[in-house]
């Protein structure tokens, strides 16, 4: 049975958090810039030459929108839907090959943090801006298929990824882990993660410094806390690892 907030008009204390929604690449998964490598492969397949002004413009946009649904990024860059879908398919193929090549690893302490949160009674959801096929490849490569209570990609939330709140709210609806959005903690490495969490009404929106964006970017997007890594999240929530 879900315990109601004692003071429902107040922000909950950290140890009131019951649902934790975590980003993957850059937050729980270290991928060493594979997004940019995969983007270059996708852009090249559509005739965008490396080193060209157009390539530089597109790469700058990819960097600025880290955390957003990748198909949304390609829709912005290439305009028409068929071209965006071709670019996204090329990106997913390239990223999957890099994952299969052993180019990813867990962020130090990430697995232990997730296990500690679940052992303490929190429901943990892993979310991503990648397509399901890529998310599944990441989970398989790390042996994380059963690590979290639920995994979500934009398609699972109706197609809209970050910065929309949809995946966070879908995590709540699917798990029924809590009675209030303010009992949700969201953690991620990009400004889009922060925006998504704030728009969903999460009580804690924690930025981590292991990925794409720095402290200033995370705070300007609404981070309630900035952590060195996701390994520090259990302590923030009053959980001993």
How far is the C-alpha of 192 from the C-alpha of 90, rounded, in Å? 23
Percent of the chain surpassing pLDDT 90: 53
Q: Can you spell out the DSSP letters for 154-222?
A: GGGGTT--TTSSHHHHHHHHHH---S-GGGEEEEESSHHHHHHHHHHT-SEEEEETTSS--HHHHHHTT
The answer to whether the CB of 54 falls within 8 A of the CB of 114 is: no
pLDDT category of residue 9 using cuts at 50, 70 and 90: very low
Q: Which of 194, 199, 129 is nearest to 164 (CA)?
A: 199
Question: What's the token pair of residue 83?
Answer: 């071209």
Q: DSSP character for 65?
A: T
Q: What pLDDT does residue 10 have?
A: 52
Q: What pLDDT does residue 1 have?
A: 37
How far is the C-alpha of 35 from the C-alpha of 33, rounded, in Å? 5
pLDDT at 13 over 80: no
Q: What pLDDT does residue 195 have?
A: 95
132's CB contacts (< 8 A; 6+ apart) are 153, 155, 156
User: How many CA atoms does the CB half-sphere of 26 hold within 13 Å?
Assistant: 27
- Provide mean pLDDT across the span 17-39: 89
φ and ψ of 141, to 5 deg: -65, -30
How far is the C-alpha of 207 from the C-alpha of 193, rounded, in Å? 8
Identify the residue whose tokens are 């060493």.
32
pLDDT at 107 over 70: yes
Burial class, 76, CB count within 10 angstroms (exposed 0-12 / middle 13-18 / buried 19+): middle
User: pLDDT tens-digit profile of 170-222?
Assistant: 999 999 999 999 999 999 999 999 999 999 999 999 999 998 889 999 999 99
Helix axes 191-200, 166-175, angle to 10 degrees: 50
User: pLDDT tens-digit profile of 128-171?
Assistant: 988 898 899 899 999 999 999 999 999 999 888 889 999 999 99
């Amino acid at each position: 049975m879900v315990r109601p907030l004692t003071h429902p008009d107040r922000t909950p204390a950290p140890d009131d958090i019951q649902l934790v929604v975590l980003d993957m690449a850059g937050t729980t998964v270290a991928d060493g810039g594979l997004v940019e490598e995969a983007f270059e492969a996708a852009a090249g397949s559509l005739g965008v030459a490396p080193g060209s002004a157009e390539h530089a413009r597109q790469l700058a946009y990819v960097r600025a929108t880290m955390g957003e649904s990748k198909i949304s990024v390609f829709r912005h860059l290439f305009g028409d839907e068929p071209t965006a879908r071709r670019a996204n398919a090329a990106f997913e193929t390239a990223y999957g090959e890099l994952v299969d090549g052993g180019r990813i690893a867990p962020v130090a302490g990430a697995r232990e943090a997730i296990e500690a949160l679940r052992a303490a009674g929190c429901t943990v959801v892993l979310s991503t801006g990648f397509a399901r096929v890529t998310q599944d490849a990441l989970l398989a490569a790390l042996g994380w298929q059963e690590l979290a209570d639920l995994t979500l990609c934009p398609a699972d939330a109706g197609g809209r990824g970050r910065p929309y709140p949809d995946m966070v709210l879908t995590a709540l609806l699917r798990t029924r882990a809590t009675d209030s959005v303010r009992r949700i903690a969201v953690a991620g490495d990009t400004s889009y993660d922060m925006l998504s969490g704030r728009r969903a009404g999460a009580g804690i929106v924690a930025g981590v410094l292991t990925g794409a964006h720095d402290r200033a970017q995370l705070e300007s997007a609404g981070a309630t806390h900035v952590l060195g890594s996701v390994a520090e999240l259990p302590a923030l929530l009053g959980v001993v690892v």
